[in-house]
Amino acid sequence: MQAHARGHLVYAASGVLAVHTERGTSVVPANRVAWTPAGFTHRHRAHGDTDMRIAFLTPSLSQLLPDRPAVFLASGLAREVLLALTGPRNHAKPGDACNVGDADGHDGAAPGYGRAARTRLLRVLVDELREAREQPLHLPEPRDDRLQAVARMLHEAPADNATLAELGRAIGASTRTLSRLFRSELGMTFYEWRTQLRVHHALVLLADGHDTTRTAHACGWANPSGFIAAFTDIVGTTPGRYRTGR
């Protein structure tokens, strides 16, 4: 894990990136942009054949975006600006932990734009993100020991269909207590959090070449139709279209 002095945007032109911070994990497929403010410790990991693009922002532009990690839908214009700013393909192999430096003030690649032109492009990019909806692809990281125990079990076995009561018995906590903690600490129900976790795992499996049916079963859905509905609701496209179009 590392922390940068400037906030930065991460985009996967192809493949999938997982962005881990102390606040949680964001999975970033090819139609999303992840924002990490300055000072947040983080790491990136590639899944699939990933083309990773990173753009660092000045403090004045950073102030226009949230003061916490977030994921935004990438408009066509935002995508083209990111590609223009970051130049040639930045290849990351599956499983790579991706580290970038910002000491030189550049975004990793310098395709030939002058400082003033880069500033204008970055402002256009930030304006596009401010108009975009934040996307529910950020999985908050629990801080309570009991929630952490539940999270570990589900990360290790995303297909586990144990109820919250059954998980509570395994760690010595009541259903009411765990339900309250999910809402107060993570801002969502247990069902919503587990569905989000499963979709995160699904994005990684699809990026690694698994088909929809195999991915659905590996992530806890008894049939592909339920998986397709949940995936589409969160990601905005079906698993099949995502897999073939990314």
pLDDT tens column, 169-182: 999 999 999 999 99
- The predicted model gives 31-35 an average pLDDT of 86
Please tell me the distance from the alpha carbon of residue 137 to that of residue 35, in angstroms, as a whole number: 12
Q: Cα 220 to chain center, whole Å?
A: 20
**Chain segment 67-105, per-residue pLDDT in tens:** 988 888 888 999 999 999 887 655 555 454 444 444 333
- Give pLDDT, residue 30: 77
Every domain of the chain and the residues it spans = 8-131, 142-245
Predicted TM-score (pTM) of this structure: 0.69
The domain defined by 142-245 folds into Arc Repressor Mutant, subunit A (1.10.10)
Most confident region among 51-65, 109-123, 229-243 by mean pLDDT? 51-65
**Mean pLDDT, range 230-239, rounded to an integer:** 88
Give the pLDDT score at 2: 57
Q: What is the percent of the chain where pLDDT is above 90?
A: 45
Q: How many CB atoms are located within 10 Å of the residue 212 CB? A: 19
Number of C-beta neighbours around residue 246 at 10 A: 19
Q: How confident is the model at residue 4 (pLDDT cuts 50, 70, 90)?
A: low
